Amino acid sequence: MTPAGHLWIVGLGPGPAHWLTPEAAQATAQASDLVGYAPYLDRLPPRAGQRRHASDNRVEAERAALALGLAADGRRVALVSGGDPGVFAMAAAAFEAIERGPAAWRALGVEVAPGVSAMQAAAARLGAPLGHDFCAISLSDNLKPWAVVARRLAAAADGDFVIALYNPASLARPRQIFEAFDLLRARKAARTPVAFARAVGRADERIVVADLGAADPGLADMSTLVIVGSSETRWVARDEGRAWMLTPRRYGEAR
């Protein structure tokens, strides 16, 4: 009989070790096999006897199937994502594979270890931009049509949510953030606070804040999380340094 395999679906957080949970560190240390996008695996210290299965960022379904196949063979597998594995990441791909795959995969022990997501890390740098209702939208149209993205942006603007934009741009998709800003500018006040939080927690971190009317969407790249405020989001000025971004807890309060 093969030994019981196990699959951890692990979130590594936005980058720095101090934003990696003890659970995630333990799961990746215990694993016999690490599966994930190469730059995420590079964040983990090498361990004798541990096998690494690095892939590029595109083939999520194959990566999930590889991890599940290894676990079904009795291996103890950690399938890693940046940030939280449930936010635009590997957890859904893994459960889709389990749903469609061999019955043995549904019998596996599977655990999801959450991580700090980019919007939380960005929010921590900015102050409290997510203090009231917010939503997260991925601008990538690799997995959904742009018409769906545009409809959701419009609905989020009309619903007056704070909006966290993941995957705002890439080399292959440089223009969509400009289209998204055009759409938002048509629906939201020009003074709406906006933040571009790039590579939060990493050596090349860069935070830029602006009002929606003046913000340059070209600041966004694939390492950037963009936060667009609601009608109530405001700046809290400081004597020195960047203003804090605040979305108050109470909605509809006169200022």
Q: Which residue ranges make up the site for ligand SAH (CB under 6 A)?
A: 14-15, 81-84, 87-89, 117-118, 121-122, 166-168, 197-202, 222-225
Q: With beta carbons less than 8 A apart as the criterion, state whether 85 and 114 touch.
A: yes
How do beta strands 162-166 and 134-138 pair?
parallel
Least CB distance to ligand SAH at residue 180 (A) = 13
List the one residue out of 139, 135, 208 whose CA is nearest residue 167: 139
Least CB distance to ligand SAH at residue 104 (A) = 28
| Torsional sign, CA 105, 138, 83, 119 | negative
Least CB distance to ligand SAH at residue 121 (A) = 6
Residue with smallest beta-carbon separation from ligand SAH: 83
Least CB distance to ligand SAH at residue 247 (A) = 19
Cβ proximity to ligand SAH: between 104 and 210 the closer is 210
Cβ proximity to ligand SAH: between 122 and 156 the closer is 122
Cβ proximity to ligand SAH: between 81 and 230 the closer is 81
Q: DSSP letter string over 72-138?
A: HTT-EEEEEESB-TTSSSHHHHHHHHHHHS-HHHHTSEEEEE----HHHHHHHHHEETTSS-EEEEE
Cβ proximity to ligand SAH: between 117 and 176 the closer is 117
Cβ proximity to ligand SAH: between 72 and 228 the closer is 228
Least CB distance to ligand SAH at residue 16 (A) = 9
CA–CA separation, 212 and 189 (whole Å): 8
CA angle 210, 135, 211 (to 5 degrees): 10
Cβ proximity to ligand SAH: between 121 and 246 the closer is 121
CA–CA separation, 22 and 40 (whole Å): 17
The number of beta carbons lying within 10 Å of the beta carbon of residue 26 is 14
Least CB distance to ligand SAH at residue 220 (A) = 8
